[in-house]
Amino acid sequence: MRIIAVTNQKGGTTKTTTTVNLGAALAQAGQQVLVVDADPQADASIWLRQVDKGHAISPSLYEVLTADDLPLADIVRPTTTSNLSIAPCDLRLASAELHLLGEMGGELHLRRAMTGLERFDYVLVDCAPSLGLIVVNVLCVAPEIIIPLQAEYLPMDALVALGETVAKIRQLFNPALRVMGVLVGRFSPTSDVRRDSLDAIQARFGDLMFETIIGQDVRLEEAPAHRLTILEHAPATRSARQFLALAQEVMSRGQ
């Protein structure tokens, strides 16, 4: 089983889009995939048809992170996509931060709950745009990180703090933690600034950057409103093919 955190503390860098559609692409490739929604915005849970916006779902990751002994496996539900399951959450998850703060060893609460998940090949965790205790919990569990970013002027600014957090967690809790890949998740080659940024990202991250780049695509932007993955909503589009290619890269980077 590979556990992968999709994280970047900057908002809107395509974390949820990447988690949901990479998950669907891995599932289509025959892998058993669990998406864990660790963002109180609950975008992945809404997208994968578990909960309506503003509504609660129970049991959810909130219960896992606030109960003494509730395994993550107990909140796993199937989605309408075969091979793809989800551990959902809702808005209440935001208040789990406070609970974790008051708990001895609160950083490792999620790690203690990671039992009974052997049937999954991949666990993909969609993180909130934050470096709070929930993200820290995720990074204490996941050995691998995917960082999605947009090709824009100085996208690296936000990564300094993330890099420091990763270094600290590696040192204190999770020596195996590593960045598996940096993904350009929404690229439109029409402006020079963006092309220059792409060069800058390439220069900064080298081989860490995925060869696959997800292009700007209106079909991808509208998919969550239809609550369909891109492979269901528009399987013949370029971005659907790009997510299938990304899945192949992720699989080969694990070997």
Q: Which of Mg ion, ligand ATP, none is residue 13 near (CB under 5 to 8 Å by kind)?
A: ligand ATP
> Mask of contacts with ligand ATP, 173-192, x by CB under 6 A?
------------xx------
Instruction: Rule CB under 6 A: choose which of 66, 165, 216, 248 binds ligand ATP.
Output: 216
Angle between helices 133-141 and 157-172 (to 10 degrees): 60
Residues in the chain: 255
Rounded Cα distance between 174 and 193, Å, is 37
Instruction: Please tell me whether residue 123 adopts helix, strand or coil conformation.
Output: strand
Contact 239, 166 (CB under 8 A): no
Strands (E) located in 118-215: 122-127, 144-149, 178-184
Instruction: Rule CB under 6 A: choose which of 7, 13, 28, 79 binds ligand ATP.
Output: 13
Name the residue nearer to ligand ATP (CB basis): 174 or 212. 212
Ordered DSSP codes for 190-214: TSHHHHHHHHHHHHHHGGGB-S--P
> Mask of contacts with ligand ATP, 102-141, x by CB under 6 A?
---------------------------x------------
> Mask of contacts with Mg ion, 31-60, x by CB under 5 A?
------------x-----------------
Q: Which of Mg ion, ligand ATP, none is residue 60 near (CB under 5 to 8 Å by kind)?
A: none
Rounded Cα distance between 39 and 45, Å, is 9
Residues engaged in binding Mg ion (CB under 5 A) = 15-16, 43
